Structure formats: C-alpha cells, structure tokens
Amino acid sequence: MPPATDPMTLLRAVNDSAAFNRWCGFEVQRALPGEVELAMPWRAELGQYSGFLHAGVVGALIDTACGFAAASQVGSRLLASHFAINCLRPAIGERFVAKARVLRVGRQQVFTRCELYAHEQGREKLVATGETLLCVMGTAATA
Amino acid sequence: MPPATDPMTLLRAVNDSAAFNRWCGFEVQRALPGEVELAMPWRAELGQYSGFLHAGVVGALIDTACGFAAASQVGSRLLASHFAINCLRPAIGERFVAKARVLRVGRQQVFTRCELYAHEQGREKLVATGETLLCVMGTAATA
Amino acid sequence: MPPATDPMTLLRAVNDSAAFNRWCGFEVQRALPGEVELAMPWRAELGQYSGFLHAGVVGALIDTACGFAAASQVGSRLLASHFAINCLRPAIGERFVAKARVLRVGRQQVFTRCELYAHEQGREKLVATGETLLCVMGTAATA
Amino acid sequence: MPPATDPMTLLRAVNDSAAFNRWCGFEVQRALPGEVELAMPWRAELGQYSGFLHAGVVGALIDTACGFAAASQVGSRLLASHFAINCLRPAIGERFVAKARVLRVGRQQVFTRCELYAHEQGREKLVATGETLLCVMGTAATA
C-alpha cells in the first residue's frame, strides 16, 4: 500500500511540511490525479491595505494549488519555473478555494491552470485565474 | 510640502497599513518616483517544504514592489490586474531585495518590472524576475 | 437591424480589414457574444525552422481570437495590453482552431482566455493555451 | 574554428531556414553569446485593423529574438514553452528592433527577456517588452 500513490495523503503531508502554507491556513480539500482544490479561510493578516486578500496571497494560493495538481500526477520532484496571475475582481470573501488542474505533462515540464473562487454568504465568485509551468527535476538537476 | 509627494513617506504608510506586508516583514528601503526597493529578511515561516522561500512569497514581494513603484509615480489609486513571476533559481538567502521600476505610465494602466535578489554571505544573486500590470482606478471604478 | 450587434458580421469585417490576418488566412468560424472560434489552415510560410507552426503565429492566432472574443461583447474600441502563451506541444496540423472566451469584463479591462487546437487526420489536439488582457479605450485614450 | 560557435552565422542560418521569419523580413543585426538584436522593417501586410504593427507580429519578433538569444548561448536544441508580451504603446514605426538577452541558463530551461523598440524619424521608442521560457531538449525529448 504505497502512500505516495494516494494524492490526498501525499499532498496533505507536503502541505503540512511547508511553514508558509500552515501560516496561511491552506487546506487540501480535494485531490485526484491531476486535479486539486486548495482552500483557505479569510483572516485579517492576509489582507492588503484596503482589506482585500493580498495579491501575493492570491498568487501563493494559485501557485500552490497548481504545484499540488502537478505533484498529484507526477510526484513532488517539481520546481515552479513560471507563474502568472490575473486578478479579475477584488478578492473579498470568507473563504477562498483554488481549483487547479494539469493541462499537460511533458517529459521535462508540467503545465497547469487554476481558478480562484471567493465564497461569501453562500455565493461563489471567480476572483482570479492563474497558470503555472513547473520543471520536473532530474536526478540532481534544478531549473 | 505635501507628504504625499514624498514617495518614501507615502509607501511606508501604505506598507504599514497592510497586515500581510507587516507579517512578511516587508521594508521599503529605497523609493524614488518610479523606482522602489523592497527588502525582507528570511524567516522559517516564509518557507516551502524544501526550506526555500515560498514561491508565493517571491510573488508577493515582486507584486508589492511593483505596486509601490507604480504608486510612487501615480499615487495609490491602483489595482494589480496581472502579474507574472519567473523563478530563475531556488530562492535561498538571509535577506531578499526586490528592485522594481515603472516601464510605462499610460492613462489607464501602469506597466512595471522587477528583479528579486537574494543576499547570502555578502553576495547578491538574481533569483527571480517579474512584471506587473496595474489599473489606474477612475473616480469609482474597479478593474 | 444594427449590424454592430451581430458578432459574426462585426468580426468578419474587422478580420478582413487587418492585412496580417488576411495574409495568415484567419477565418472567423464561430462568434457569439464573448465566445469566438478563429481558424487557420496550415501553409508552409507559417512555419519555423523545424516546420512546425511558428510560435509567433501561435501567439497571433491566440491574441487575435481573444481580441475578437472581447470585441464580440464590448465592441472594437480595445487594445491588447498583455498576452501570454503556453506552448504545450509542437504545433503540427492541417488546420488550427483557436477557441477564445471572455472571463471578465470590467470597466476598463477585459480578461480573456483561449485554447489552440491542431486538427490532423480527423483528430483534434490541444497544442497551446493563452490569455489576453485588453484595455477598453476611453473617448481619446490609449493604453 | 567551428562555425556553430559564431552566433551570427548560426542565427542567420536558422533565420533563413524559417519560412515565417523570411516572410516577416526578420534580420539578425547583432549576435553575441546571450544577446541578440532582431530587426524588421515595417510593411503594410504586418498591420492590424488600425494600421499599427499586429500584436501577433510584436509577439513573433520578441519570441524569435528571445529564442535566438538562447540559441546563441546553448545551441538550437530549444523549444519555447512560454512567452508573454506587454504592449506598452501602439507599435508604430518604420523599423522595429527587438533586443533580447538571456537572464539565466539552467540545466533544462533558459529564461530570456526582450525589449521591442520602434524607430521613427530618427527616434527610438520602447513599444513592448516580453519574456520567454525555453526548454532545452534532451536526446529525443520535447517539452
């Protein structure tokens, strides 16, 4: 029974081992091979000067969800090379959910895509989108 | 002598008013119109699972430095629309410095660019680059 | 019967008025408000040194399809501010179809997303993805 | 004296072998290891509906110049994985020059950056910026 083949077990372990993820309050709420949902409750410390979710945290959620979607399919020997975020609306909500999925697994690279939703008073709203390109590390390689 | 025209005073006030910036430990270390340096000392809570600086924090530093560079030139009525990050090397260091500058101020948009350097044992190394596109808000507009 | 409200009529007119689009052989094959398909048959002049579709043409197809999707919803007073392309696989095919849609229309900006498919021997394959951020021009404004 | 080590000879050969580059009129006007200038005279066929240089051609110039800068340093076994373009101003000019340089060569990836200038009546103006991430192909690998 290799635990590494269960994406939820793998990703919760990775998530727990990352100090920043714990501080942010990231929770792996769904994990299938190539498809991950990462949630985070709102807290005031996550805000920028207007009280919206900080764009940096928007990016961190999306980048992390994308990395987890990739890891759920090819394992955790991955490094993010590039990520890009579109901020469609001010990120205001009680809870945020990043839904990421793998677009393509190549020999050396994994392409992923993500939507970030804000939940507020029972409504779900798309607030940001993003994409990540990850590099599959060789035996001793880095990007 | 209006304080708003002194970029350093404006940006330190904005930086202090953002809870996430305070938690991260962002420090405005240089501010000229259109040019800003934002520094952050390393702490373990800022790490990902391998102990490098979390890509989300890399993005937050770059996005914030870019926003500050734009604000130093056109004021703080700005919203980030898009940002993109290239992770050139694992972000390892005792201190990180994001150096951002404005590329172009348009009527509705500001384009900025940033380099992120890691300082370690007296050496400075380029670890990431990024760019941001900000939207200049009208009287009541959002993106 | 205002012709401007029919996306297909509007976009075919815009497409025909752009010299580069005509040279490339772009064809508006579907147009609904906020959703457009732009097709292009393969020709050798569109290739790079290995004989695949040139990444520049991949970008042109995606950028154009995104601009058309935005125009189909808000009219043609738009300028592309930013676009980004992910090349998932070598772009090889007899015909290429870019399927773009609007993600969000703001007061000053339109966010769009696109998938580029290659058709070969009756099969459709996703070869690239992209996104565009367009600026809605004011009375006399440019980006 | 292996000719492959002279970037100008290598890149002119690659440029001549790409049908789209020839049609566009790309000219390698400068080539050092990791630094390339690619020029293109304006022609009406390169325009979009307003008569500016088509954003797709802006992207093609930048993507090609970036690819050439990478090839000048690591050879031509490269595929573009990602590129992103910022359109700072309407691209109007008699001649366009894309100046690209390598930011970082990794084991599997090359990061590059580019500025596109328009020349008009003896003046040079920055009209776009861009960046490219290229994948170094292994023995038989693709992205």
CB-based contact D46 C19, cutoff 8 Å: yes
CB-based contact C111 A131, cutoff 8 Å: no
Selected residue with higher pLDDT from C140 and A88: A88
Mutate to test the interface with C, among A81, A104, A108, A109 (most CBs of C within 10 A): A104
Any chains having at least 3 CB pairs less than 8 A from chain B are A, C, D
CB-based contact B56 A55, cutoff 8 Å: no
Does A1 score more than 70 pLDDT?
A: no
Instruction: Return d(Cα B110, Cα B134) in angstroms, integer.
Output: 5
Residue B46's Cβ-count burial label (10 Å; 0-12, 13-18, 19+) is buried
Any chains having at least 3 CB pairs less than 8 A from chain D are A, B, C
Cα separations (Å) of C104 from A114, C29, C62, C108? Answer: 15, 23, 17, 11
Model confidence pLDDT, tens digit, residues C16-60: 999 999 999 999 999 999 999 999 999 999 987 777 999 999 999
Q: What percent of chain C has pLDDT over 70?
A: 92
Instruction: Return d(Cα B134, Cα C62) in angstroms, integer.
Output: 23
Model confidence pLDDT, tens digit, residues C48-79: 777 799 999 999 999 999 999 999 999 888 98
CB-based contact B111 D133, cutoff 8 Å: no
Does D3 score more than 60 pLDDT?
A: no
**0.90 exceeded by the pTM?**
yes
pLDDT band at D142 (very low <50, low <70, confident <90, very high): very low
Asked whether D60 and C57 are in contact (CB, 8 A), the reply is: yes
Does B18 score more than 70 pLDDT?
A: yes
CB-based contact A108 D138, cutoff 8 Å: yes
CB-based contact C131 A89, cutoff 8 Å: no
Q: Which residue of D lies nearest to B90 if distances are taken between CA atoms?
A: D106
Instruction: Return d(Cα D6, Cα D25) in angstroms, integer.
Output: 22
Q: What is the pLDDT of residue D44?
A: 92
Q: Which residue of B lies nearest to C140 if distances are taken between CA atoms?
A: B107
Instruction: Return d(Cα A70, Cα A100) in angstroms, integer.
Output: 9
CB-based contact A108 D135, cutoff 8 Å: yes
Mutate to test the interface with C, among A81, A82, A86 (most CBs of C within 10 A): A86
Provide residues of C within 8 Å CB-CB of chain B.
81-82, 84, 106-109, 133, 135, 138, 141-143
Does C5 score more than 90 pLDDT?
A: no
